[in-house]
Amino acid sequence: MRNTDPFDFFRDHRDTIFRWLGIVGAVLVVFLLLRWWAMRKGGWKAWWRWLCREVALTANAFAAPVRAWSRHRGDLRLLVRLLRNPTTWRDAERALSAARIAAAPARPYAAIVGPRTVSVLLAGANIPAPKGIWGVVPGEDGHLWTTARTELPSATPEADGARPVVAALGTTERRCAFLDLSVGPPMVGVDGDRRSRHAVLQALAAQVDARLPESLVVVAEGVHPAFRGIPVRDAYREARRTPPRLDIPPVLVAAELPDPLPTDLDAPGLRVLVQGEGRGHVRALLTDRRGQLAVVGTPLLVRCTALGLAVARVLRHIPPVLPPAPAATALPGGASAGLFEEEPATVPHAGPTTGTDPDAWHDFAESTVGASSPARARSAEATAPAPPPAAPVSSTRPSAAAESAPQARTSTPAGPTRTPGT
């Protein structure tokens, strides 16, 4: 090496030397640029935190569509599995009915049904401590009561009250959330993102139409492009003329309120589902572009992106609202005093009892009036089959008036009719 001429060495390794000098120069330029950039951000630590944050945001932006699609498919499968099973709807109704008594004076307004448990959300200033089958999950708010689905009562405990009218809102924590439309403000307004609120209104309208009798639901124009409804003012008048059935008021579904507003908009006897803010006493449902839905003023927040498609798939499997069972105090003859006591023999009453459909009362009244003429009474006596011998219902012998009662009257299928001349 000592005898090597430096010029000859440089001439022989010129390419390698120039290559390494170029690499070192490039590294030095990059370092100087990064240092200048870092100094503008406040130092090397601040620059490193900012760089990590930007990299995470970029990765999240590329992965967000994939995660949203996966979450949507999972919510769709969950909603279809739960809403297709009628037991899910019945458990939500039974939980709300049971909580009305246990949580009084608070009022349950929503139910969250999971595979094994069901929870109810309560509204009120004075919420009592949970008792009976109810409990509060550690770490949860006292407004949320939870119980196992297998511990719910088999029968509705509030027999003489209105049945809950529940409608699915979406999913939360792998469970399905239901909103009780029979309590709270008479108007429900769906507002927020334009696409989301329209889809939620259509899903709620489909559920209400499937669960309630056909005559109780009036849909105005503009709710669904495939359904040509009537003008909103005519729809409002028709809904106002519709009488309630089974203690359930009629429901008006509209894309907007009538203009000008009716003076009796807040009058009782009508429930309104409307797109937008609504007017008067309103329960607001607010949606956003991410597919989330919040019940304003409550802690309930759900994902509703898969609600419309899930309701369309299970619409034929949605069960109707069960009518309320007649209360024990409404039984004829004072049977509520002792339902299992022996009573003296009485003439059977063929008419409907309290708590039945008003249409049945109408048919009963027409048949009673028609059967009151002498000609119809004679024909009924001639065609009516002889009644079978009744089993004794009391150990005492009936009086003479009770023995002569079957001879003085003739019982027809439409109701009791007196014989001519009495």
- Give the rounded percent of residues in the chain with a pLDDT score beyond 70: 74
Q: What is the arithmetic mean of pLDDT over 54-78?
A: 94
Q: What is the pLDDT of residue 376?
A: 39
Higher per-residue pLDDT: 159 or 298: 298
The pLDDT value given to residue 396 = 38
Radius of gyration of the chain (CA): 36
Tens-digit pLDDT profile for residues 296-327: 999 999 999 999 999 999 999 999 987 665 54
pLDDT in tens, 200-226: 999 999 999 999 988 899 999 999 888
Q: Would you give the DSSP letter of residue 229?
A: -
pLDDT on residue 157: 57
Domain boundaries, the chain: 20-80, 84-317
* Structure confidence at residue 180 (pLDDT): 94
Compare 136 and 246 and report the one with higher pLDDT. 136
| Weakest mean pLDDT among 12-16, 71-75, 319-323, 354-358 | 354-358
DSSP 42-80: TSHHHHHHHHHHHHHHHHHHHHHHHHHHHHHHHHHHHHH
Over residues 92-100, the mean pLDDT reads: 92
Q: Locate 138 and state its tokens.
A: 């550690």
Q: pTM of this prediction?
A: 0.68
352 pLDDT above the threshold of 50? no
* Residue 41 banded pLDDT, cuts 50, 70, 90: confident
